[in-house]
Structure 1
């Protein structure tokens, strides 16, 4: 497996010279300043690649080449969006960048309710609380329908939290949830989020699946011809939120996607933390079933709670048997004669991470610890 490190370019407080000290060989990056739906030009791609290579790395994975919201909703100038996406893929292939991660989650790329939950022995982590999410949806957004999507106990706990909340704690919850918006997008206030949600009103799981299938049919043949591996990222968290459907949350969802356009270019980003937050998912089994279509891996761990809440744990300390998952991926590599790029996904804020302005989860010391632990597992299994 090939060690990589996610780097946010001009939006990252870490320099590539600092990243080099982690030992990672490849970089996972994107053109984060380009608005969704705009063309990734050859010139911009080559500049980013040259910047990465000048620091002694290769640009191994694009994360992400975003899918415009119109495509997810199935509205707007779809032909233009598909043409632009295919042209961006062609420009990436010309520059030799041939693994592309993307997601199909409406509005939010990921969702947490707490960005700095204290952990034992010091440091902080990311956390998702179903009760606080229920409180946000029911009390702050006024979504009465949310009563049907949360466990009654989580709703009661959310009611109590909201009754005791202050303007500051409610603002902190909104800030944490809005952190999951794509990097260069302005953060919404409550009214802005309601407006964004209104644009998805009535979108069902079947609708979103149909729109994903159309995207795959439009894009995968081009990717295949260019030698590009597309790899969809699972939902994070793997459940419906804000009244928005989620369709990449289970092993059954992944199987449907792989069969929708049955081409090796239509692949998976195996994110153990996202899939692992769903108690139905057996991560070693998923790695075994889809190792032949896994083109990229995010390795992290979570501790789940009975009500669906979860806490991001140290990489080898959670509910997921990452050793077994890595063993399956190494077997898949051997069968495919390839190296699957992976990155230590997220990390606790530890030591000098505290107080720094990293993207949530993308700390230096926490990820370095995770990478070292995963490196040891891979060395032992190999």
Structure 2
């Protein structure tokens, strides 16, 4: 039998209400975490890494994937400081390698790591999900952020829907929407003010997707040779959502984008985090086909599902429901595992985590990071675990 996927759970560190003891009870064997207290761009010391690793291992778990070593904005905008921050990034990679860590997830999304408009969208069973509402985003962009270029980017119909949405909100609800969209990095409580965000936008005035892609290629060509020597597999996370928002460019949203990433610096160390939720929010993405064509470059899996709507909105669905055929996705993953097994690759047990989860049952008693409740993700992991076993038994036990 081919090795199972390595089952992991994201953990935001000692302050996370989801404890390592709880994670162990889910059946996961690995932890996905980062040193969120270290500012983006600063070096992760060997001592800090070892301290975190020791805490995880004392609980009977393994630190499987580093998510994320965040990239300083100077690298994305190609400021005069970028080489200094690239050097710091490489130093962090050296320290991670010295501590025995070998899979590093990162993203190249400008300013905001991910964007939603509702962190408590109630489903028919009263479970709480994350939602991206297109009219809400447009309302914020047009009438709260008041970005002048937005009027050329939204159709008259979209502007009308956005105005209707805005008019339905109280002042308190407008503030809540703003705070949700302006949330900073995962694992932090940072929220940009409108003035701060506008300053960030100014830095991207002359950076379109082509320029951002060139800046990403520069970064990869600088770090991948060192990563390869260190035995580290870098894996970029797709954009979330996988299309331009608030005037910011996107460069990891489509299959061609993923091809461009791996071609920017061909190496076993330059790979992908395949997130079925982020990529699945783009209806043009053929996820099973992308795995079949790019599977050899996948170092890490985020498995979740979204339900797309006609106007570009989407919400986090059950892991086996939604607009993505998770059966077809898992089957393609298993076929990739078979290729790796047959060719003698050592990385057959690809790390996988159930990405995001609904708030269910006792989840409401804990102030967890959005999408990272324990019971909701446990449900997702159980479903994915069963799906994987069923497909493998069908394919290989016949």
CA-to-aligned-CA distance 1:65-120 (integer Å, 9 cap, x gap): 11110000110312211111111101111111000000000011100000000001
SS at match of 1:11: coil
Q: Look up the match of 2:345.
A: none
Which whole-Å CA distance do the structure 2 matches of 1:152 and 1:278 have between them?
22
Aligned length: 382
1:369 aligns with 2:379: yes
Of 319, 326, 337, which residue of structure 2 is paired with 1:322? 326
Of 349, 356, 359, which residue of structure 1 is paired with 2:359? 349
Q: Does the aligned pair in 1 maintain the 2:12–2:33 contact within 8 Å?
A: yes
Of 160, 166, 176, which residue of structure 1 is paired with 2:164? 160
Q: Does the aligned pair in 1 maintain the 2:104–2:233 contact within 8 Å?
A: yes
- Gap runs ≥5 in structure 1: none
Shift of 1:162: 1.3
Q: Does the aligned pair in 2 maintain the 1:100–1:228 contact within 8 Å?
A: yes
Of 275, 289, 292, which residue of structure 1 is paired with 2:293? 289
Which whole-Å CA distance do the structure 1 matches of 2:290 and 2:154 have between them?
26
Which whole-Å CA distance do the structure 1 matches of 2:136 and 2:89 have between them?
37
1:198 aligns with 2:208: no
Q: Look up the match of 2:229.
A: 225
1:26 aligns with 2:36: no
Of 121, 131, 137, which residue of structure 1 is paired with 2:135? 131
Q: Look up the match of 1:298.
A: 302
Q: Which runs of 4+ in 1 moved over 4 A?
A: none
Of 258, 274, 281, which residue of structure 2 is paired with 1:254? 258
Shift of 1:167: 1.1
Shift of 1:303: 0.6
Which whole-Å CA distance do the structure 1 matches of 2:378 and 2:102 have between them?
26
1:91 aligns with 2:95: yes
Q: Does the aligned pair in 1 maintain the 2:184–2:191 contact within 8 Å?
A: no
Q: Does the aligned pair in 1 maintain the 2:102–2:233 contact within 8 Å?
A: yes
Q: Look up the match of 1:145.
A: 149
Of 55, 58, 63, which residue of structure 2 is paired with 1:54? 58
Which whole-Å CA distance do the structure 1 matches of 2:360 and 2:189 have between them?
28
Shift of 1:301: 0.2
Change (3 A) 1:182 1:347: closer
Q: Does the aligned pair in 2 maintain the 1:125–1:311 contact within 8 Å?
A: yes
Q: Does the aligned pair in 1 maintain the 2:108–2:216 contact within 8 Å?
A: yes
Q: Look up the match of 2:107.
A: 103
Which whole-Å CA distance do the structure 2 matches of 1:205 and 1:233 have between them?
16
Which whole-Å CA distance do the structure 1 matches of 2:58 and 2:230 have between them?
25
Which whole-Å CA distance do the structure 2 matches of 1:204 and 1:358 have between them?
35
Shift of 1:199: 2.3
Q: TM-score, normalised by structure 2?
A: 0.94
Change (3 A) 1:323 1:341: same
What's the Cα RMSD here? 1.2
CA-to-aligned-CA distance 1:116-175 (integer Å, 9 cap, x gap): 000011211000011110110110011131123334433211111112322111011112
- Gap runs ≥5 in structure 2: 342-347, 393-398
CA-to-aligned-CA distance 1:239-274 (integer Å, 9 cap, x gap): 101110001000011111111111111100000000
1:245 aligns with 2:255: no
CA-to-aligned-CA distance 1:228-249 (integer Å, 9 cap, x gap): 1000000000010111000100
Which whole-Å CA distance do the structure 2 matches of 1:186 and 1:373 have between them?
33
SS at match of 1:5: strand
Shift of 1:29: 0.5
